[in-house]
């Protein structure tokens, strides 16, 4: 019997992407510190956070399940000029972030970590998408901030929402920017 897939995330976007890709899975959110380890490079910082989520989810799930399962954890960061931008602290911070991104490119990196419960086998990898923003006016930025959409999103925008109108073009998987690169998930699952 195939092990059950468990998404250890409270992200509605990740849940939606997995559902649309035809996966059958349970959702068991976990909370961990998402403060990056400054001793690691940016890619490894993001992988480290995804692994922390898996480490937190595994014992929690093992205590309540008898069947074998694979836990899926992910972390998505918006990287500008080599540093993660994170989610805006307030409206002014959202403005600062969007002003930074205006007319320039940034990267969205998602780390995916899968761990199999009975063997402890882990596979993880990152996916990167480059996003090019057009020049934004102050009016556009404040109008967007007024929608409330940027406030809970890394980089202060959602490409699948109204923030998508700021994107001139991108290179790499779109779903990676939304929060979960589904092709990478399929590829990693095939290793079990």
Domain residue extents for the chain: 4-189
Rounded to an integer, what distance in angstroms lies between the CA atom of residue 45 and that of residue 84?
A: 10
Q: Are 47 and 113 in contact (CB under 8 A)?
A: yes
Rounded to an integer, what distance in angstroms lies between the CA atom of residue 12 and that of residue 35?
A: 22
Confirm whether 152 is a catalytic residue. Answer: no
CATH of segment(s) 4-189: 3.90.950.10
Please give the full DSSP string across 135-166, using - where no structure is assigned: P--HHHHHHHHHTSGGGGSGGG--TTTGGGGG
- Tokens read off for 190: 């095939």
Q: How confident is the model at residue 3 (pLDDT cuts 50, 70, 90)?
A: confident
Q: Are 14 and 180 in contact (CB under 8 A)?
A: yes
Q: In degrees, to the nearest 5, what angle opens at C-alpha 173 toward C-alphas 2 and 90?
A: 105
pLDDT at 132: 98
Average pLDDT over residues 48-63: 92
Rounded to an integer, what distance in angstroms lies between the CA atom of residue 154 and that of residue 163?
A: 12
Average pLDDT over residues 159-174: 95
Rounded to an integer, what distance in angstroms lies between the CA atom of residue 184 and that of residue 161?
A: 23
Residue 103 has pLDDT above 90, yes or no: yes
Residue 118 has pLDDT above 80, yes or no: yes
What are the backbone dihedrals phi and psi of residue 97, each rounded to the nearest 5 degrees, phi first?
A: -65, -50
Mean per-residue pLDDT of the chain: 93
Average pLDDT over residues 109-115: 96
Average pLDDT over residues 54-65: 90
Q: How confident is the model at residue 1 (pLDDT cuts 50, 70, 90)?
A: low
Percent of the chain with pLDDT strictly greater than 90:
78
The pLDDT tens digits for 7-32 are: 999 888 899 999 999 999 999 988 88
pTM score: 0.90
What are the backbone dihedrals phi and psi of residue 4, each rounded to the nearest 5 degrees, phi first?
A: -70, 150
**Active-site option among 75, 138, 146, 152:** 75
Average pLDDT over residues 88-109: 97
């Amino acid at each position: 019997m195939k092990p059950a897939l468990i998404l250890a995330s409270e992200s509605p976007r990740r849940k939606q992407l997995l559902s649309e890709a035809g996966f059958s899975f349970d959702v068991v959110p976990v909370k961990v510190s998402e403060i990056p380890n400054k001793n690691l490079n940016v890619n490894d910082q993001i992988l480290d956070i995804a692994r922390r989520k898996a480490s937190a989810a595994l014992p929690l799930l093992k205590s309540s399940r008898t069947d074998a399962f694979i836990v899926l954890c992910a972390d998505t960061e918006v990287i500008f000029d080599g540093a993660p931008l994170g989610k805006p602290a307030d409206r002014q911070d959202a403005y600062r972030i969007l002003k930074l991104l205006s007319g320039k490119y940034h990267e969205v990196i998602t780390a995916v970590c899968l761990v199999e419960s009975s063997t402890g086998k882990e596979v993880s990898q990152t996916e990167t998408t480059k996003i090019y923003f057009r020049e934004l006016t102050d009016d556009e930025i404040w109008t967007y901030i007024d929608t409330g959409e940027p406030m809970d999103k890394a980089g202060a925008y959602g490409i699948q929402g109204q923030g998508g109108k700021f994107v001139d073009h991108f290179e790499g998987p779109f779903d990676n920017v939304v929060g979960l690169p589904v092709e990478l998930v399929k590829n990693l699952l095939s290793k079990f």
